[in-house]
């Protein structure tokens, strides 16, 4: 009650927030405030999200016709490569950790800032340098290797700007590593008094698990890209079979990073969904311990399953068997998370606000993505559907249906905290439902198309797949509208939105105990934590 009154009072004197600390450009570019760094990241990845989206819109438009209408093979290949590289490394991998992780994780553990604030802003600059390399590769004509950079295509045959693109990803990787180290140190050493490990919100756990994957997987990607550059640029044989090199070695190194990278994308989204579900069901997350254990075991076992990307590559059948088995094992904790989220709703007091709708679409789409993962873990089925649209649909269900839905859930859940304004909830709900609909229409047909035998990365394709492709492209239009919609109503809310107050959702997290937007120091006093998270039943 007093909070509500206090919130209305500050009209008299402007409260100090991280936003009005300074208005100069240098106050942003030289900031060490984790919240401002988060905003810098958010602007950068939004830019890349729309570039990657524009590229794939052209691809989907082109695929309406089986013979190609407007693009050459060369342009088509460059567009889907661009889409892959940008979306994976310049949107999905940094998406939730560098924005919401950066903004909220320190607040959720009651800290003033991350462990190394200067390292934090530095990793944004490293990210920007990597981005500049990639943009240069783009302007210089693009790359046509696919985002996977398979050798010997990438090192000996492709004629795009492979080196610039690889350098971009290489540099951006160090930004990931720096962020990961920073976050792990923050969670270990910056928790407020009373914030035991067992009291950490699941979002913090998810960022922690993600950071571990980041610092252990990314260096391997960096090294494999370095080898690509050494072979392509300096002519040193590493993977070239003519000199005795083994192109499969690259694939092993690449997937040793790129499979865990999927967990870098989806683990934070899982954390977001846990926060949002608890808040809008007004209930503690069911099975907190099981949730933590499954987060951590996904992060660990995720390192042991990369070989399931290579069932038809010529690796031994024994390896196929082992990787198949481990891939089934890693699916168990994911399944448990879905059950626990569903059980969280049981007996709750549910309101279907926009963040909740996004969180629920995450659960639904992630379930479909996860189950189709079982198809791909089964060797005989994978032999048939790998490198087809079935795989494309599967990983988009995880990365877009999962990670991007999680991102939008987070955006709508914490927008009032970050900006201090409420957005129009009805518009947001329309956005959430359009996203879900557009997503299903875009990607469901791709499962059928893939099983029927349409390979991925095909510019021209057999006519019998046209029906699927047309439906998919129609879905992409809906999806594009759904993704543009928030841009408008969220921008509108910055100026015209109702002031949010400290805690518009009546949520329990520490981040809600300060003003919105928060002051530079986050809290006006040192917080002391005395209860487990998600104490909704007692409020």
Nearer to another protein, 11 or 159 (CB): 159
Instruction: Give the Cα separation of 524 and 527 in Å (integer).
Output: 9
Give whichever of 81 and 419 is closer to another protein, judged by the CB atom. 81
Q: What angle do CA 24, 27, 31 make, to 5 degrees?
A: 165
On whether the CB atoms of residues 183 and 97 are closer than 8 A, the answer is yes
Separation between Cα atoms, residue 102 and residue 97, nearest integer Å? 6
Q: Is the Cβ of residue 16 or residue 378 nearer to another protein in the bound state?
A: 378
CB of 381 to another protein, least distance (A): 6
Query: What DSSP assignment string belongs to 27-55?
Result: HHHT---HHHHHHHHHHHHHHHHHHHHHH
Secondary structure (3-state) at 524 = coil
| Residue (10 or 241) nearer to another protein, CB | 241
Measured from the CB of residue 149, what is the shortest distance to another protein in angstroms? 11
Angle formed at CA 228 by CA 227 and CA 232, multiple of 5 degrees? 120
Question: Using H for helix, E for strand and C for coil, what is the string for 450-474?
Answer: HHCCCECCCCCCCHHHHHHHHHHHH
Q: How near is the Cβ of 44 to another protein at its closest, in Å?
A: 23
Torsion 286-292-293-298 (CA) sign = positive
**359 or 480: CB nearest another protein:** 359
Contact criterion met (CB below 8 Å) for 167 and 118: no
Residue in 200, 222, 277 with CA at minimum distance from that of residue 529? 200
Q: Which is nearer to another protein, 28 or 50 (CB)?
A: 28
Q: How far apart are CA 28 and CA 39, in angstroms?
A: 9
Q: Give me the least distance between CB of 266 and another protein, in Å please.
A: 17
Closest separation between CB of residue 250 and another protein, Å?
A: 9
Taken in order 380, 448, 455, 164, the sign of the CA dihedral is negative
Per the listing, tokens 């890349």 go with 48
To another protein, the closest distance from the beta carbon of 387 in angstroms equals: 4
Distance of CA 117 to the CA centre of its chain: 23
Q: Which is nearer to another protein, 281 or 411 (CB)?
A: 281
**CB closer to another protein out of 25 and 234:** 234
- The smaller minimum CB distance to another protein, of residues 60 and 282, is found at 282
Tally of CB atoms within 10 A around 216: 17
Please name which of 326, 289, 280, 286 lies closest in space to residue 305, comparing C-alpha atoms.
326
Q: Which is nearer to another protein, 246 or 491 (CB)?
A: 246
Cα–Cα dist 155/265, whole Å: 28
CB of 319 to another protein, least distance (A): 12
Taking a C-beta distance cutoff of 8 angstroms, is the pair 145, 81 a contact?
yes
> How near is the Cβ of 484 to another protein at its closest, in Å?
27
Min CB(235)–another protein separation in Å: 5
Q: How far is the CB of 315 from another protein (least distance, A)?
A: 10
């Amino acid at each position: 009650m007093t909070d509500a009154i206090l919130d209305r009072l500050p009209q008299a004197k402007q409260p100090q927030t991280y936003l009005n600390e300074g208005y100069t450009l240098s106050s942003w570019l030289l900031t060490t405030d984790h919240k401002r760094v988060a905003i810098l990241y958010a602007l950068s990845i939004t830019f890349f999200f729309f570039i990657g989206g524009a590229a794939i819109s052209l691809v989907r438009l082109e695929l309406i016709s089986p013979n190609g209408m407007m693009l050459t093979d060369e342009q088509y290949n460059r567009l889907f490569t661009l889409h892959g590289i940008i979306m994976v490394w310049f949107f999905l991998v940094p998406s939730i950790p560098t924005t919401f992780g950066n903004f909220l994780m320190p607040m959720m553990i009651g800290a003033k800032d991350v462990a190394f604030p200067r390292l934090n802003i530095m990793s944004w600059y490293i990210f920007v340098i990597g981005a500049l390399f990639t943009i240069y590769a783009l302007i210089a004509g693009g790359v046509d290797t696919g985002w996977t950079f398979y050798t010997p295509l990438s090192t000996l045959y492709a004629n795009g700007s492979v080196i610039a693109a690889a350098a971009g990803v290489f540099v951006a990787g160090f930004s990931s590593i720096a962020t990961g180290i920073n976050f792990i140190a923050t969670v270990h050493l910056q928790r407020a008094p009373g914030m035991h490990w067992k009291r950490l919100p699941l979002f913090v756990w998810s960022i922690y698990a993600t950071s571990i994957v980041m610092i252990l997987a990314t260096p391997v990607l960096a090294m494999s890209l370095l080898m690509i550059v050494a072979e392509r640029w300096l002519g040193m044989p590493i993977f070239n079979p003519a000199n005795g090199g083994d192109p499969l070695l690259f694939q092993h190194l690449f997937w040793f990073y790129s499979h865990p990278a999927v967990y870098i994308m989806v683990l934070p989204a899982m954390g977001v969904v846990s926060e949002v579900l608890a808040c809008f069901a007004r209930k503690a997350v069911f099975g907190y311990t099981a949730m933590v254990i499954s987060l951590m075991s996904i992060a660990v076992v995720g390192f042991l399953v990369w070989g399931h990307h290579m069932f038809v590559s010529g690796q031994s059948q024994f390896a196929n068997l082992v990787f198949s088995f481990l891939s089934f094992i890693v699916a168990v904790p994911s399944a448990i998370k879905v059950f626990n989220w569903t059980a969280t709703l049981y007996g709750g007091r549910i309101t279907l606000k926009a963040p909740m709708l996004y969180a629920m679409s995450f659960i639904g789409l992630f379930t479909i993505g996860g189950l189709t993962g079982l198809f791909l873990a089964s060797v005989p089925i994978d032999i048939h559907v790998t490198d087809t649209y079935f795989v494309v649909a599967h990983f988009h269900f995880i990365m877009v249906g999962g990670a991007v839905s999680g991102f939008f859930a987070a955006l709508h859940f914490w927008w009032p905290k970050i900006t201090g304004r409420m957005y129009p909830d009805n518009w947001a709900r329309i956005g959430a439902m359009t996203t879900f609909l557009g997503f299903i229409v875009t990607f469901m047909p791709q499962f059928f198309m893939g099983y029927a035998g349409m390979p991925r990365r095909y510019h021209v394709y057999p006519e019998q797949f046209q029906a699927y492709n047309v439906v998919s492209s129609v879905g992409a239009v809906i999806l594009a509208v759904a993704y543009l919609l928030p841009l408008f109503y969220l921008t509108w809310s910055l100026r015209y939105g109702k002031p949010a107050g400290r805690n518009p959702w009546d949520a329990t997290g520490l981040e809600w105990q300060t003003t919105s937007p928060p002051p530079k120091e986050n809290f006006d006093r040192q917080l002391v934590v005395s209860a487990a998270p998600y104490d909704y039943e007692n409020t």
